[in-house]
């Protein structure tokens, strides 16, 4: 009798669990980045007053869209320092709509480092962690073309969207000064450490013969070669082709590339990695310039048909990082917009 009762209770519990599962609404499918980003941009614009909209919204083809830089300078747009709480929430929501949690923490870390640098240099007025600006170009839409930028000292995130294709997120610059905080309550903080460490892990895998090809200069350049140029202009590839790397070296190279791509939302990062594969992994080149000793000036570059990554740590006694991820075909969404206009009728 007890066994029959036990079986009946078990059957009843199973029925309740199944019924509850059927009654529970299905989890919503998360919107892709294009939709999420357009909604976030609309919310940000709605939070602005008319004067702020005049400062921070532009036509898509405005020349200001391509006037990007990562040095301290006069900038236009809606300044973070002047925002109220609601505007700040909306602005950070826009950043989070396109950056991964890793990328968002790096971006906000750049701003925080600016304040830390101000205290180290005893120049707080010149190193303002709120001197960062948002600009939107065109009308945000999940279907049409538009763009936006977040920028200030040591960061420039340039995003272009067009329909249901994955947005372009290059040029994407991030810097860290100091690269390693050596004093005060933040001593030991190292914002862009993985970008250096993964490259060094790759370097130790190369043979002496390979290093003679990898190392293109004994002295590192003082900054990233491409600077703030509108388009990538380099005289061909330099360094060692990935086609001449063994499996361990190739895996280490891909981990380094992923560190940059994974700053973007997962659908964008996956799409960019697919493009790199489609262009041929063997066509990637890795080059190094400067010293291979920690604490001394160094630079590296990853260059392929659809990706250019530069990392430079020379200034400030090799304690000042500049890094950039660019796309030789699609910076500022150039290729994305060409395909959109070719495929979609515009009145």
Annotate 22-51 with DSSP letters as a single string: HHSPPPPPPP-HHHHHHHHHHHHHHTS-HH
Quick check: is 225 in a domain?
yes
Residue 344: pLDDT band by 50, 70, 90 thresholds? Answer: confident
Confidence class of residue 122 from pLDDT cuts 50, 70 and 90? confident
Task: Tell me, yes or no, whether 171 lies in a domain.
Answer: yes
Question: Which tokens sit at 241?
Answer: 């082709």
Range of the domain at 261: 33-342
Q: What is the pLDDT of residues 53-99, one digit of tens each?
A: 999 999 999 999 999 999 999 999 999 999 999 999 999 999 999 99
Has residue 306 got a pLDDT over 80? yes
Residue 214 lies in a domain: yes
In a domain, 112, yes or no: yes
CA distance 237 to 16: 64
Angle between helices 247-261 and 266-279 (to 10 degrees): 140
Mean pLDDT of the chain: 91
Range from 112-116, 125-129, 239-243, 280-284 carrying the lowest mean pLDDT: 125-129
Whether the pLDDT of residue 167 is over 60: the answer is yes
Answer yes or no: is 96 within a domain: yes
Q: At what angle do helices 101-121 and 85-98 cross, to 10 degrees?
A: 120
More confidently predicted of 105 and 165: 105
Predicted confidence band of residue 313 (pLDDT cuts 50, 70, 90): very high
Is residue 204 included in any domain, yes or no? Answer: yes
Contact 125, 17 (CB under 8 A): no
Preceding omega of 178 cis (within 30 degrees of 0): yes
User: Does residue 26 lie within any of the structural domains?
Assistant: no
Domain count, the chain: 1
Residue 187 lies in a domain: yes
3: helix, strand or coil: helix
């Amino acid at each position: 009798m007890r066994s029959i009762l036990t079986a009946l209770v078990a059957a009843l519990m199973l029925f309740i669990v199944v019924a509850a599962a059927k009654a529970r609404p299905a989890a919503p499918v998360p919107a892709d980045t294009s939709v999420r980003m357009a909604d976030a941009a609309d919310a940000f614009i709605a939070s602005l007053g008319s004067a702020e909209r005049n400062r921070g919204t532009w036509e898509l083809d405005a020349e200001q869209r391509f006037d990007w830089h990562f040095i301290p300078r006069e900038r236009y747009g809606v300044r973070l320092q002047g925002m109220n709480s609601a505007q700040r929430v909306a602005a950070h929501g826009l950043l989070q709509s396109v950056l991964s949690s890793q990328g968002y923490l790096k971006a906000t870390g750049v701003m925080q480092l600016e304040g830390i640098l101000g205290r180290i240099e005893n120049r707080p007025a010149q190193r303002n962690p709120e001197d960062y600006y948002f600009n939107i170009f065109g009308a945000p839409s999940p279907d049409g073309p538009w763009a936006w930028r977040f920028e200030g000292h040591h960061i420039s995130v340039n995003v272009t969207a067009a329909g249901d294709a994955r947005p372009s997120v290059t040029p994407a610059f991030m810097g860290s000064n100091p690269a390693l905080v050596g004093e005060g309550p933040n001593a030991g903080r190292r914002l862009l450490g993985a970008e250096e460490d993964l490259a060094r892990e790759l370097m130790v895998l190369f043979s002496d013969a390979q290093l003679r090809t990898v190392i293109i200069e004994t002295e590192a350049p003082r900054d990233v070669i491409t600077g703030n140029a509108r388009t990538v202009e380099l005289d061909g590839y330099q360094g060692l082709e990935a086609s001449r790397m063994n499996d361990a070296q190739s895996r280490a190279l891909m981990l380094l590339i992923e560190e940059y791509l994974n700053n973007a939302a997962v659908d964008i990062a996956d799409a960019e990695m697919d493009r790199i594969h489609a262009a041929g992994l063997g066509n990637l080149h890795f080059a190094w310039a400067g010293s291979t000793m920690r604490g001394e000036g160094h630079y590296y570059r990853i260059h392929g048909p659809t990706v250019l990554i530069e990392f430079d740590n020379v200034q400030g006694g090799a304690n000042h990082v500049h890094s950039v991820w660019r796309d030789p075909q699609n910076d500022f969404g150039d290729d994305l917009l060409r395909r959109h206009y070719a495929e979609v009728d515009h009145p």
